[in-house]
């Protein structure tokens, strides 16, 4: 079936029972040794979408879709985002095809008219000089950031950034390759963090230097953000981020 602009489903009980719970970035991150002034986090609530969280088997290829669903949940927290098959219908791609940041731009625009600024990084090392653009994005009320790359084909959802030791920035990452939905529904976030699925990670570990990256920074339509030109690096639709 077609998914219209603003697509999603109202949260009837049988739908909401399968969705990851709503939470703020602070609730997901837990306690921190850094001061609030040093951390720049997504404002508002979102859902941590991950492999098989809605009983759809996307292991090995669906992490890009899960990151987009997390972004959509921030844009419309009271609505269930479209399922992976529905997102594929919007893109016109087949089952098990990987997607990257260019596809996310298409989906977020088609479904919500949301603007997405794409920050291309020639290498993971470039984040050391660009992380304050992420900080400014979050401080201005921007939403979760989708990370897609070339050599590093694992999509990531970034919901915060801070300066780290020795000048290396750290990213607050929701890893969509997580699979234990029961832990999230039981609000056992401590166990999820302990296993590393929600974690502050040094940028060098999160974004290896051997890969280029595109960072898709979504904003709500009403905040006046302007979409940038297409990414300067080549991250073909249906071929990089999983």
Q: What is the pLDDT along the chain (242 residues), one digit of tens a residue?
A: 334 456 666 554 344 567 899 999 999 999 876 655 589 999 999 999 999 999 899 999 999 999 999 999 999 999 999 999 999 999 999 888 899 999 999 999 999 999 999 999 999 999 999 999 999 999 999 999 999 988 888 899 999 999 977 778 999 999 999 988 777 777 788 888 988 999 999 999 999 999 999 999 999 986 444 333 344 344 434 333 33
- Residue 48 near residue 118, CB atoms below 8 Å: no
- Give the tokens for residue 101: 């940041």
Q: Which of these is catalytic: 9, 56, 177, 185?
A: 177
Nearest to 71 by CA among 231, 217, 172, 193: 217
Catalytic residue status for 43: no
**E runs forming strands in the chain:** 9-10, 22-24, 39-41, 45-47, 79-80, 115-121, 145-149, 156-162, 170-174, 198-202, 213-219
Catalytic residue status for 9: no
Catalytic residue status for 177: yes
**pLDDT at site 95:** 85
Q: Which of these is catalytic: 58, 103, 152, 175?
A: 175
Q: For the chain, state the CA radius of gyration.
A: 16
The rounded Cα 196 to chain-centroid distance in angstroms is 16
- Give the tokens for residue 197: 């699925």
Q: Which of these is catalytic: 53, 63, 112, 137?
A: 63
């Amino acid at each position: 079936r077609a998914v219209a602009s603003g697509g999603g489903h109202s949260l009837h009980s049988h739908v909401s029972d399968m969705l990851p719970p709503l939470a703020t970035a602070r609730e997901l991150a837990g306690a921190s040794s850094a001061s609030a002034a040093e951390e720049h986090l997504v404002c508002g609530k979102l859902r941590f979408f991950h492999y098989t969280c809605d009983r759809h088997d996307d292991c090995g290829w669906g992490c890009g879709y899960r990151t987009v669903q997390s972004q959509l949940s921030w844009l419309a927290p009271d609505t269930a985002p479209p399922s992976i098959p529905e997102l594929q219908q919007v893109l016109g791609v087949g089952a098990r095809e990987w997607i990257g940041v260019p596809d996310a731009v298409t989906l977020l625009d088609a479904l919500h008219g949301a603007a997405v600024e794409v920050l291309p990084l020639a290498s993971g090392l470039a984040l050391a000089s660009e992380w304050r653009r992420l900080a400014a994005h979050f401080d201005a009320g921007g939403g979760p950031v989708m990370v897609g790359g070339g050599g590093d084909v694992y999509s990531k959802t970034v919901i915060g950034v801070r300066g780290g030791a020795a000048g290396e920035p750290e990213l607050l990452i929701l890893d969509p390759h997580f699979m234990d939905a029961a832990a999230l529904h039981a609000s056992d976030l401590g166990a999820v963090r302990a296993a590393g699925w929600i974690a502050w990670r040094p940028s060098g570990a999160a974004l290896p230097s051997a890969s280029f990256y595109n960072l898709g920074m979504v904003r709500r339509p009403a905040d006046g953000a302007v979409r940038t030109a297409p990414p300067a690096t080549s991250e073909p639709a249906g071929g990089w981020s999983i």
